């Protein structure tokens, strides 16, 4: 099985398909590399596509300490995969946790990002509710340790932001939670504590975000309540950002609406590669 190895000797499992300009996919907390299959099949027709499982998600390694699961580990792991494959720059496509990591790449290693697609980004960013969000992350981590991934999958399958997926595609929703039930409970608990509960709110990074020239496509479901305001915040502050709102959609955008997701991202990448996705023209800004 192919693995990239980080500087700490954490092995990250990856799969790749196709040839051309590279695209790397970064998955959400409740997913792994397999959840990008509709995109791997589609975009590999014209690009070199890489999907990998983050640390804590088998068949990648599951480090034992929660100290190995900070947001810095997650975005530098994406770079480690690119380094292993000798890829200097790539289009970054991330969902939720993966979108946050994609943004961190653009903030800290902008020379590595051709573009970034930020889907379902920013839940838990509200500064007003940040302490409560972090306490809930600790409780969620303890839940994994107490009842295990199989039971967590059962009790979380009707979380508010996942209901649109259930309504549209009960079979796809069931497959998604069957996969979640197979996750490593320790890895999920440590990711919840270290990454989810420890990452800085995007609202604390406004000045840095405003200096990022990387072309960005922000995608949000209009029924993914926790991500609507952060998506608007990023649209306002990222100089070269566009925003797409999917109607009657929740959090799992690439699986809820795979055809629409692929269409929007394909158009975005084509415009970026044609040099037609620049920073916002100041003349379009209201005074």
- Model confidence over 45-84: pLDDT tens digits? 999 999 999 999 999 999 999 999 999 999 999 999 999 9
pLDDT reading at 286 higher than 90: no
What percent of the chain has pLDDT above 90? 98
What total number of domains does the chain contain? 1
Q: Establish if 100 belongs to a structural domain.
A: yes
What is residue 35's predicted lDDT score, i.e. its pLDDT?
98
pLDDT reading at 94 higher than 90: yes
What is residue 33's predicted lDDT score, i.e. its pLDDT?
98
pLDDT reading at 116 higher than 80: yes
**CATH number of the domain within which 14 lies:** 3.40.50.1820
Q: Establish if 162 belongs to a structural domain.
A: no
- Model confidence over 218-243: pLDDT tens digits? 999 999 999 999 999 999 999 999 99
Q: Establish if 150 belongs to a structural domain.
A: no
Q: Establish if 21 belongs to a structural domain.
A: yes
Q: Establish if 259 belongs to a structural domain.
A: yes
Q: Establish if 25 belongs to a structural domain.
A: yes
Q: Establish if 113 belongs to a structural domain.
A: yes
Answer whether 92's CB lies under 8 Å from 118's CB. no
Could you list the residue range(s) of the whole structural domain that residue 44 is in? 3-123+201-284
Q: In what order do the strands lie in the sheet with 3-5?
A: 3-5, 11-17, 48-52, 22-26, 90-95, 113-119, 216-221, 241-246
Q: Establish if 29 belongs to a structural domain.
A: yes
């Amino acid at each position: 099985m192919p693995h990239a190895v980080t500087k700490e000797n954490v092995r990250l499992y990856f799969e790749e398909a196709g040839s051309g300009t590279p695209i790397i996919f970064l998955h959400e907390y409740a997913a792994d590399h397999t959840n990008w299959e509709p995109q791997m099949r589609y975009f590999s027709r014209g690009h070199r596509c890489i999907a990998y499982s983050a640390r804590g998600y088998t068949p990648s390694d599951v480090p034992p300490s929660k100290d190995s699961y900070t947001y810095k580990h997650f975005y530098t792991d994406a770079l480690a995969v690119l380094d292993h494959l000798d890829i200097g720059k790539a289009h970054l496509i991330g969902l939720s946790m993966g979108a946050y990591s994609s943004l961190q790449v653009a903030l800290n290693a902008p020379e590595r990002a051709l573009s970034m697609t930020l889907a379902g980004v920013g839940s838990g960013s509200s500064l007003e509710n940040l302490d409560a969000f972090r306490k809930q992350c600790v409780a969620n981590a303890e839940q994994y340790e107490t009842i295990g991934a199989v039971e967590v999958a059962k009790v979380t399958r009707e979380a508010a932001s996942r209901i649109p997926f259930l309504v549209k595609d009960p079979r796809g929703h069931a497959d998604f939670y069957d996969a979640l039930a197979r996750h490593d409970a320790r890895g999920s608990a440590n990711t919840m504590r270290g990454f989810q509960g420890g990452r800085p709110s995007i609202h604390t990074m406004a000045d840095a975000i405003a200096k990022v020239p990387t072309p960005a496509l922000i995608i949000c479901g209009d029924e993914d309540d926790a991500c609507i305001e952060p998506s608007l915040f990023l649209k306002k502050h990222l100089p070269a950002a566009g925003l797409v709102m999917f109607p009657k959609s929740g959090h799992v955008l690439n699986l809820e609406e795979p055809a629409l997701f692929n269409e929007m991202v394909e158009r975005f990448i084509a415009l970026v590669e044609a040099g037609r996705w620049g920073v916002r023209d100041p003349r379009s800004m209201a005074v």
